[in-house]
Chain A
Amino acid sequence: MNIGESFRFAWRGVNANRVRSALTMLGVLIGVAAVIVLVGVGNGASQSVTQTLSSLGTNTLTVTPGTATSSGLLGLRRSTETPAVGTGGTLIRPETLTAADAAALSTPGAAPDVTAVAPVVSPAGVVASYSDTSHQLGSMTGSTAGYLGIANDTVSRGRAYTATDVAAHARVVLVGPTAAKALAGGDGSALLGQEIRLNGVTFTVIGILTEKGSVGARDQDDRMIAPLSSVQDHLAGYGDLTSIAIQAADADAVGAAQAQVEAILDARHRTGAASRDFTVTSSASMLSAANSITGTLTVMLGAIAAISLLVGGIGVMNIMLVTVTERTREIGVRKAIGADRTEIIMQFLIEAILLAVFGGLAGVLLGVGLCQIPVAGFRAEVDPASVGIAFGFALAVGLFFGIYPATRAASLRPIEALRYE
């Protein structure tokens, strides 16, 4: 008897017990689909974060007040008092960054690897209004003209503000797509050239910013950018800076630029590595931190998926054991009319493989299909390795748990198998 014949017998076996076959396949299907979807979600999340962070530019540095312990990963300021001890006695300084710090960094020759410096003020809770609509902004940024280049921001409609606008304290503003839609409706482009009020002060919209997407639940496009001078005049006051944005010559110079910035600010603040009252964050370091977090996430989701695959595998094993036990008499009959051990094992093995392959394929289709549905602002990315591993595991489970009980039953003497109750 050839393999084609075994295959036909196996196919008949699968077909003759449709419900049982379907249930077996369901176990494999769910396991395989779960692995693909969960690994895909982890992957998608990590890619989405990476993409967002690299849109910030790979060669930028951000200086924020406070130490690493008092500032979060993304440089958000916390209200922790961290006194710094100066060299000339006990000198308690508040954690501040001033316009003078920014000016010192941009002094020609002071930091050779720094190509651009932009002081940033971000007043919180700014409310924008246009005709009858008002909207609280996710973020309001006041900075110099160089900021847009450092932050990797571009204008999709209208124009960016210039150094002249900054010098002239011009009340002009660039609006992010989300904020523009919230104020003017539609795609927001109606806002271009219109006058809006920020906390009651009139500004003219001269440009719409290019869409940046969101980081998780945080929408990066719900924002406005205006010249530093006019934001300080009307919204923030002439106090401390929220941060200083710095651009290094290129991605390789980021490390050197960071050292230079730290040296200059340490000198000005009379601090050292241990007593620093500011933090320099590079987008590269954020990226690697974010990657390690999403990597952990992917591993965790993968582990959960692996468990579901294991449970599916145990289901297959259970059904295979029951199937073969139930069909021991059939095995006896087949042996009585001339099947040898190999032919019996072959038939049950192929049956198990058929179930595993069809269940696995259906699981791959379902998993890949589910990954196409966008969830929470990002799309799950199918990892080909996860597809391969899940499918391979399903196949291995089918093979092992098909072969094991079949071998046992096929090794019985025919009369034992025939009399089996």
Chain B
Amino acid sequence: MSANETPVIAVEGLRQTYGSGETQVHAVDGVDLVVERGDYVAIMGASGSGKSTVMSILGCLDTPTAGRYLLDGTDVRTLSDREQARIRNRKIGFVFQHFNLIARTSALANVELPLAYAGVPRSERRRRAVDALTLVGLAGRLDHTPAQLSGGQQQRVSIARAIVGEPVLLLADEPTGALDSRSTDEVLDLFDGLSAEGRTLVVITHEDEVAEHAKRVLRMRDGRIEADLRRAPVDAAPPRWRPGAEAS
């Protein structure tokens, strides 16, 4: 598999600076990072450690002040707005802490959204969205709007939305931060299942419980990576994976 030779994420000398002069803040102060295809990485750190800034740069939601970022082999710093939108659409699936579903819009329509922006024909879009919602266990709630779903269900809709376009990278920012412990377990089981299927996941979190599911844990502090712990090989199953648990 030649694709395995290209890392999903290759970052060199990443810096993000806000403000100038006396009040200048180095949110990210020189980060080098390579994430192989199929890896499941947790980025941990206290608030202010720079992990959210790293996440927005990795997700092409923000451009770094300095450094090189190759996403699946593409240098994203040189891309136009339209090309960056295409990259986000095709290569990245986002899971946010506060779900960020479109209000007053059905679960199905929310999951179809990335496919609509990708120009997928309607019938295929619908089929794939239904498949994705079935995978996260919400086949019976296609027409529910976010307000009619619990937090855990909303997060599962947003996971369906993130994976429906078959992106190379699944990027989750505090995915369990707004959930109770039962919903947290559901979401983490789903992530384990996706990782076991071979998808690449990067999860930003400050909860040890979440990090325990990852194959590799990075700790950030003051804008730098302080520790890099490998808990399972890239091509192995995630350490806490319970086959079949995600379908419950």
> Which residues of A come within 8 Å of B, CB atoms?
1-2, 5, 9, 12, 16-17, 329-330, 332-343, 413-415, 418
Contact = CB atoms under 8 A, between A and B. Distances in A.
B114 interface: yes
Given A1-B116, A1-B117, A336-B88, A342 B82 contact: yes
Given A413-B61, A414-B61, A339 B85 contact: yes
Nearest to A416: B62
Contacts of B208: none
A340 B94 contact: no
Contacts of B84: 340
Most buried by A among B86, B88, B96: B88
Contacts of A16: 103-105
A2 B118 CA distance: 10
B62 A414 contact: yes
20 contacts: A12-B105, A12-B109, A16-B105, A17-B104, A329-B100, A330-B102, A333-B96, A333-B100, A334-B102, A335-B88, A336-B88, A337-B94, A338-B90, A338-B165, A340-B82, A340-B84, A340-B85, A340-B86, A341-B81, A414-B61
Which 10 A-B residue pairings sit nearest by Cβ, starting from the closest? A338-B89, A340-B85, A16-B104, A338-B117, A415-B61, A414-B61, A415-B56, A415-B62, A340-B82, A333-B100
Interface residues on B, range: 20 to 34
A336 B85 CA distance: 7
Interface in B104-160: 104-105, 109, 113-114, 116-119
* Chain A, interface SS category: helix
Contacts of A5: 116
A337 B113 contact: yes
Given A329-B100, A415-B56, A337 B117 contact: yes
Interface in B68-97: 81-82, 84-86, 88-90, 94, 96
A338 B101 CA distance: 14
Contacts of B104: 16-17
A336 B94 CA distance: 7
Most buried by B among A336, A343, A415, A418: A336
Contacts, number: 76
B100 A335 contact: no
A415 B102 CA distance: 16
Interface of B: 56, 59-63, 81-82, 84-86, 88-90, 94, 96, 100-105, 109, 113-114, 116-119, 161, 165
A333 B157 CA distance: 14
Contacts of B60: 414
Nearest to B89: A338
Contacts of B94: 336-337
Contact of A336 (B61, B118, B165): B61
Contacts of A339: 85, 89, 117
B59 A336 contact: yes
Contact of B88 (A2, A9, A330, A337): A337
Most buried by B among A9, A338, A343: A338
Given A16-B103, A330-B102, A415-B56, 11 more contacts: A1-B118, A12-B105, A12-B109, A17-B104, A334-B117, A335-B61, A337-B88, A338-B114, A340-B84, A343-B117, A418-B96
Most buried by A among B60, B109, B116, B165: B116
A230 to B, nearest CB: 83
A156 to B, nearest CB: 66
Contacts of B117: 1, 334, 337-339, 343
B99 to A, nearest CB: 9
A407 to B, nearest CB: 12
Contacts of B100: 329, 332-333, 336, 418
A340 B85 CA distance: 5
B85 A335 contact: yes
A278 to B, nearest CB: 78
Contact of A338 (B62, B109, B118): B118
Most buried by A among B101, B113, B119: B113
A336 B88 CA distance: 6
